[in-house]
Amino acid sequence: MGDARPIGIFDSGVGGLSVLRHLRLLLPAEDVLYVADAAWCPYGSKPAGIIRERIAEVVGVLQARGVKLVVVACNSASTVGLADVRRRYPQLTFVGMEPAVKPAVEQTRTRAIGVLATATTAAGESLARLVSRFGRWAGAAAEDADAPAGRDNCRGVAVHVAVPEGLVELVERGAGDSPAAEALLRPIMTRWREAGVDVVVLGCTHYPFARAAVERLAGPGVVIVDPAPAVARQAARVLAAGGALTPSLRAGQTTFLATGEADAFYAIVSRLAL
């Protein structure tokens, strides 16, 4: 019994590797097919309609390759496209991502958390729903005139949201922990230190590759929440519940596919520790 077909996982680029490494640790016998939609990276600054079309296309590739589960290892894609691909591909099972607001709210002592996200995720319904459920908008997000209704809710944990523009591109170049990454994170982290933020959520799968820079700037005692381990556990639970774990006892293989500049992608894959 069981299901020996591969798990499909995708992101706009290398960000999903932060999820893949936890998936590999948890399910070492599974074969995995990783797709990086590098020709369209970054997703997070593109219109939702374009991201949605890209996701549908990539999921089509994964389906054609016979995957048993699709892990959407991208917050931006999950925010704008997960519901759509679930509708378009009803025969596939999906595990998606959402910003880890709930675990952050559970860990804060100062009642102030920060979420680092792409523009798409920061403006998305999924984050809005989580903030209104577990906290209240704080800082610049609370003053945003285009913000969804509910941002003036003044109960609960203060949720600061910031978009470190350009960080995805730096991670794609292997420079997530670099003076350039620090320079664009510094103003955000300085504001958050002043606001007493003691938990920082990495709300984009690229950001774990900038974790060292975030940690240095956040200061001592600040907890960094990376949702990747929880997503890998969810994938394992879904497979186990469906009787779809591989029966194989050998080490699983990971196959990488990329759209666009495949050479650049493969060079970075080998630099980022798996």
- Known catalytic residues are 74, 204
> Looking at 136-144, 147-155, 204-212, 238-246, which segment touches ligand DGL (CB under 6 A)?
204-212
CB of 159 to ligand DGL, least distance (A): 18
Q: Which of 108, 121, 246, 254 binds ligand DGL (CB under 6 A)?
A: 121
10, exposed or middle or buried, with CB in 10 Å at 0-12, 13-18, 19+? Answer: buried
Q: How many helices (H) and strands (E) does the chain have?
A: 12, 10
Residue 201 and residue 99 in contact, taking contact as beta carbons nearer than 8 Å: yes
Q: How far is the CB of 58 from ligand DGL (least distance, A)?
A: 12
When the beta carbons of 6 and 15 are compared against ligand DGL, the nearer one is 15
- Regarding 76 and contact with ligand DGL (CB under 6 A), the answer is yes
Q: Which of 10, 34, 43, 192 binds ligand DGL (CB under 6 A)?
A: 43
Q: How far is the CB of 16 from ligand DGL (least distance, A)?
A: 7
Among 138, 181, 204, 213, indicate the residue that binds ligand DGL (CB under 6 A). Answer: 204
- 1 with 192: CB under 8 angstroms? no
Contact between 74 and ligand DGL (CB under 6 A)? yes
95: helix, strand or coil: strand
Q: Which of 19, 33, 38, 44 binds ligand DGL (CB under 6 A)?
A: 44
| CA gyration radius, the chain | 18
Per CB under 6 A, 100 contacts ligand DGL: no
Residue 15 backbone phi and psi in degrees, to 5: -55, -40
Please, what is the minimum distance in Å from the beta carbon of residue 248 to ligand DGL?
29
Task: Please pick, from the candidates 126, 205, 254, 259, the single residue that binds ligand DGL as defined by CB under 6 A.
Answer: 205
How many positions of this chain bind ligand DGL (CB under 6 A)?
16
Q: Can residue 108 be called a binding residue for ligand DGL (CB under 6 A)?
A: no
| Other CB atoms within 10 A of residue 135 CB | 24
Under rule CB under 6 A, residue 259 binds ligand DGL = no
What is the nearest approach in angstroms of ligand DGL to the Cβ of residue 76?
A: 3
- 226 is a contact residue toward ligand DGL (CB under 6 A): no
d(CA 134, CA 155): 9
Burial of 152 (0-12, 13-18, 19+ CB in 10 A): exposed
Distances (CA, A) of 257 to 11, 61, 70, 81, 217: 11, 10, 15, 20, 34
The binding site for ligand DGL (CB under 6 A) comprises 11-12, 15, 41-44, 74-76, 118, 121, 168, 204-206
